[in-house]
Amino acid sequence: MNLVYKVNDKPKFGQLIVFALQQLLAILAATIAVPSIVGNGMSQSAALFGAGVGTIVYLLFTKFKSPVFLGSSFAFLGSMFAAFSGAVSVAAGYAGLIIGAIFAGLVYVVIAVIVKVAGVKWIAKLMPPVVIGPTVAIIGLSLAGNAIGNSFGFGSPQSSYTMSGALWVNLICALVTLLTVIFFSVKGKKMLKLIPFILGIIAGYIVALVFTLIGNANGNEALKILDFSAFSNMKWVPEFTFIKAFEGLSAIDGKYIATIAVAYIPVAFVVFAEHIADHKNLSSIIDQDLLEEPGLHRTLLGDGIGSMAGAFFGGCPNTTYGESVGCVAITGNASVITILTTAILAIAASFCAPFVTFLSTIPTCVMGGVCITLYGFIAVSGLKMLQPVDLNDNRNLFTASVILIAGIGGMTMNIGSVTLTEVACALILGVIVNVLFNRPAKNDQ
């Protein structure tokens, strides 16, 4: 695609801050959602700080050539729950979060060493475009339910939506946000074209504010979209995980460490597959194969060590964010300096309670409108990877088909304490079909 800012380009300072804020808004909801879901007093501000530090670590390892932000990983939610449930105290659970992230990070380090020695050509053979394309599409499609659920004001997908006053109000805010993003992305001039998400969020927030003011005036609860109660209990300093973890180290024993290892290590292998898909997608956007330069071993090291750093401060292992990739693609801004500035802004924001609290008041429905575009763009990016593939050849057709059906159909598997996500199951099945039946001649895709 045509990029407005390429990887090494440096926008003007004023523009850079605005672009970084846009990236921060794109990844914010998911990044702070993980500690909220896990509970046990985990700090959203600390998770934001950890994401910023993890991203900087990633950028250093990738020689500032891969423009993507790292945020809290949802894949490790089950592992994080296991860290607390198997601990004798909450403090010990915090120690378990860090130990688990170290185990997961070490998996990445080991794979990175193997890749460094063996190269990446085997990955290209194992996961050609006919495998990676549909898998990337599934990353976006698997999140579609969340985007729609959020648009109606829910934190998760629902089986159906029986329209009521509150749901109509949420949907109106989401649609205003969505249409504003699309309008400025398509019709915007110069700077406005580069910040469609900020403009969309502002538009949606204003509409939500109007509804809330009307609701407060006439006592209609259905119209009260905005909730400012969080301002009454702001925490000015992030509660870093390592501080609480030190208090629980004495309660850690070999049995608990083994439990943590079983909970984290298998998940790291699953996330490795998604790591490749994310970087293949980003490579197609910036027209540079990141698996070759800076190299898969560097992106793995950056992701792995970045996860350790993120968990040390915020408890949450990090991963490359599809929302960040989508933001790069839609805005045409692949400047890695923008990502670095976003990371610095995230670290600074974690100490600014009013700013973080204000961002947390952005309604779920407004972020739902934004996510429809972000997740949709990821899905379409994956389908675009299939363009050079000959789908008249049944070998390719069946490979792509099983991935799409497994992913869209919600194929998940619980193997012990490990959950294979739709993306992981679809990719594994696609690789198996490709290896067994798709051994093309030299002129085939």
Number of domain units in the chain: 1
Can you name the residues that pair with 71 across neighbouring β-strands? Answer: 319
Which residues, including other chains, have CB under 8 Å from residue 163's CB and lie 6 or more apart? none
Is residue 298 a part of any domain in this protein? Answer: yes
Is residue 93 a part of any domain in this protein? Answer: yes
Is residue 241 a part of any domain in this protein? Answer: yes
Is residue 136 a part of any domain in this protein? Answer: yes
Retrieve residue 436's tokens.
Answer: 């067994």
Residue 383 pLDDT exceeds 80: yes
Is residue 2 a part of any domain in this protein? Answer: no
Residue 416 pLDDT exceeds 80: no
CA distances (Å), 422 to each of 170, 270, 435, in order?
Answer: 28, 11, 20
Is residue 443 a part of any domain in this protein? Answer: no
The interaxial angle of helices 44-61 and 336-349, nearest 10 deg, is 150
What is d(CA 275, CA 281) in angstroms, rounded to the nearest whole number? Answer: 10
- Best CA proximity match to 370, nearest among 181, 209, 239: 181
β-pairing, 318-320 vs 413-415, is: unpaired
Is residue 367 a part of any domain in this protein? Answer: yes
pTM of the model: 0.79
Is residue 314 a part of any domain in this protein? Answer: yes
**Domain ranges, residue 254:** 13-437
Peptide bond into 294 cis (omega under 30): yes
What is d(CA 50, CA 215) in angstroms, rounded to the nearest whole number? Answer: 38
Retrieve residue 192's tokens.
Answer: 């406005």
* Phi–psi pair at 120, nearest 5 degrees: -115, 0
Contact (Cβ atoms closer than 8 angstroms) between residue 149 and residue 155: yes
Tens digit of each residue's pLDDT (9 = 90 or more) over 163-219? 788 899 999 999 999 999 999 988 888 788 888 888 998 999 999 999 999 999 998
DSSP code per residue over 336-369: HHHHHHHHHHHHHHTT-HHHHHHHHTS-HHHHHH
Containing 92, the helix (H) or strand (E) segment is helix 90-118
Helical segments of 128-253, H only? 129-141, 144-151, 165-187, 191-194, 196-218, 241-248
Q: Scanning the structure block, which residue is given the tokens 């805010």?
A: 173
What is d(CA 231, CA 242) in angstroms, rounded to the nearest whole number? Answer: 26
Contact (Cβ atoms closer than 8 angstroms) between residue 30 and residue 323: yes
pLDDT for residue 65? 95
Tens digit of each residue's pLDDT (9 = 90 or more) over 10-66? 999 999 999 999 999 888 877 887 887 787 888 888 999 999 999 999 999 999 999
pLDDT for residue 445? 45
| Cα 348–Cα 364–Cα 407 angle in degrees, nearest 5 | 100
